[in-house]
């Protein structure tokens, strides 16, 4: 078994802004695992907020490689070999191992997992922070999507959301990216409910859990946890503060942990959404294979980049469509 990695520079179609900053390019890492003539693909999209970058992810993959002795142990091998604090690297290795496992069986990953590809949800399209005028233009460009997710956390929040609602009647979701305070949140939630917003993702910082719990008692809208949840062990303490969780492979460390998170969330009566970072179709497709198990999806990372180097899961009339090729079913464009 040979493990290698290659840099991936992903240029965005538009500057992407959230409450914590902005970017025009993402520096990701492609991981390749060769075994018995087959090639498994994975992708790391390092999260700077958690002390990761492409260099640290590459070092983590190099450290993991000699510990991966048996590719048949795909469900736990990446977690057992993981480097502390480098979850995107773990996720990349994990999805490459799952890719290989399904290829050995000659079936798509969803079939290996016993899932029905017709049960995929629609995915939202994310509108980053910007002026109301720019946001309106982005909304018009996203008319083909069934649901829009609007980033919030600026002084223009109200003007932006009202401009969005004046432009479209598409269902809306809101992601505050920890950008609200308790004092200002209640009034925001009231007018968001009047605008027909479905739910709010991570209204306040992750370290303000009790404030979030208090806010939820009076909120007219459900809350989904993002920065507050990383793995299955985080979920029990979130019950009562959040109605659902957003699972990102880059935070939890891969498909194996994502499946555990889905099970634990269901045990606590919580909804589940699959989210992403800015990723190519390698990582987006890996997450999409789990989407028949969840209530909502925000797997638009690959459509936010100017030139996706891979073909995999697609979006038709807003709904995720899984490839029927063996493994992840991802192929390099032009092949």
Question: How buried is residue 213: exposed, middle or buried, by Cβ count under 10 Å (0-12/13-18/19+)?
Answer: middle
What is residue 165's predicted lDDT score, i.e. its pLDDT? 93
Per-residue pLDDT, averaged over 100-127, amounts to 97
Domain annotation for the chain: domains and CATH numbers? 2-106 (3.30.390.10), 112-332 (3.20.20.120)
Q: What local confidence, expressed as pLDDT, does residue 17 receive?
A: 62
Task: Write out pLDDT tens, residues 262-295.
Answer: 999 999 999 999 999 999 999 999 999 999 999 9
Half-sphere exposure of 264 (CA within 13 A, CB side): 20
Write the pLDDT tens digit of every residue in 240-254.
Answer: 999 999 999 999 999
Band (18; pLDDT cuts 50, 70, 90): low
**Which H or E element spans position 163?**
helix 157-167
Query: Rg of the chain's alpha carbons, rounded to an integer?
Result: 19
C-alpha closest to that of 294 among 77, 121, 41: 121
Span 287-302, pLDDT tens digits = 999 999 999 999 998 9
Residue 138 burial (CB count, 10 A): 19
DSSP class of residue 301 equals G
Q: What is the dihedral of CA 151, 154, 157, 161, to 10 degrees?
A: -30
Element (H, E) at 15: strand 2-18
């Amino acid at each position: 078994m040979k493990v290698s990695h290659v840099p991936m520079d992903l240029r965005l179609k538009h500057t992407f802004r959230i409450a914590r900053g902005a970017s025009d390019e993402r520096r990701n890492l492609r991981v390749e695992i060769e075994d018995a003539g087959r090639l498994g693909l994975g992708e790391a999209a390092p999260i700077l907020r958690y002390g990761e970058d492409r260099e640290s992810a590459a070092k983590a993959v190099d450290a993991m490689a000699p510990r991966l002795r048996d590719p048949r142990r795909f469900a736990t091998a990446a977690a057992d070999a993981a480097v502390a604090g480098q979850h995107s690297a773990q996720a990349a290795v994990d999805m490459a191992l799952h890719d290989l496992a399904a290829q050995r069986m000659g079936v798509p990953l969803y079939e290996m997992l016993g899932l029905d590809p017709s049960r995929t949800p629609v995915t939202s399209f994310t509108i980053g922070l910007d002026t109301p005028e720019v946001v309106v233009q982005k909304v018009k460009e996203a008319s083909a999507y069934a649901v829009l997710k609007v980033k919030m956390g600026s002084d223009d929040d109200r003007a932006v959301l009202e401009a969005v609602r004046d432009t479209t009647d598409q269902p809306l979701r809101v992601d505050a990216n920890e950008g609200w305070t308790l004092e200002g949140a209640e009034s925001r939630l009231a007018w968001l409910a009047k605008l027909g917003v479905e739910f709010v993702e991570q209204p306040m910082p992750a370290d303000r859990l009790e404030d979030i719990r208090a806010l939820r008692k009076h909120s007219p809208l459900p809350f989904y946890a993002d920065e507050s949840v990383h793995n299955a062990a985080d979920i029990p303490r979130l019950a009562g503060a959040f109605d659902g969780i957003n699972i990102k492979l880059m935070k939890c460390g891969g498909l194996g942990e994502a499946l555990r998170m889905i099970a634990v969330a269901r045990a606590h009566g919580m909804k589940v959404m699959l989210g992403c970072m800015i990723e190519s179709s390698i990582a987006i497709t890996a997450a999409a294979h789990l989407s028949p198990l969840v209530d909502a999806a925000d797997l638009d990372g690959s459509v936010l980049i100017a030139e996706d180097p891979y073909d995999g899961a697609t979006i038709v009339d807003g709904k995720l469509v899984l490839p029927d090729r063996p493994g992840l079913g991802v192929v390099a464009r032009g092949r």
